[in-house]
Structure 1
Amino acid sequence: MRRPLQRPQGANGQFLWDLLTFERLITGTLTHLVYWAGLGIIGIMAFGVLGASVGVAVREGGWGILLAIGVLGIGMLGVFVAVLLWRAFCEFYVTIFKISEDLHVLRQDVEAERARQGK
Structure 2
Amino acid sequence: MDFVNRFLSFEKLMGGVLVRVIYFIGLVFIALASLASLFQALQAMGYSFMTGLGMFLLTPIFALISVLFWRFICEIYIVLFRITEQLNEIKLGLKPPAED
1:19-44 deviation per Cα after TM superposition (whole angstroms, max 9, x unaligned): 32311121222111100110011011
Aligned to 1:79: 63
Supply the distance in 2 between the matched residues of 1:21 and 1:91 (Cα, whole angstroms). 25
TM-score using structure 1 length: 0.72
Identity of aligned residues (%): 23
Structure with bigger gyration radius: 1
Where relative contact order (Cα < 8 A, 6+ residues apart) is larger, the structure is 2
The amino acid across from 1:70 in the alignment is G
Segments of 5+ residues of structure 1 without an aligned counterpart are 1-11
> Is residue 98 of structure 1 aligned with residue 50 of structure 2?
no
State how far apart, in whole Å, the 2-side matches of 1:76 and 1:13 are.
43
AA aligned opposite 2:12: R
RMSD: 2.1
Check 1:14–1:36 CA distance in 2 against 1; reply closer, same or farther (3 A cut). Answer: closer
**1:4-83 pair list within 5 angstroms:** 12=1, 16=5, 18-60=6-48, 64=49, 66-83=50-67
TM-score, normalised by the number of residues in structure 2:
0.84
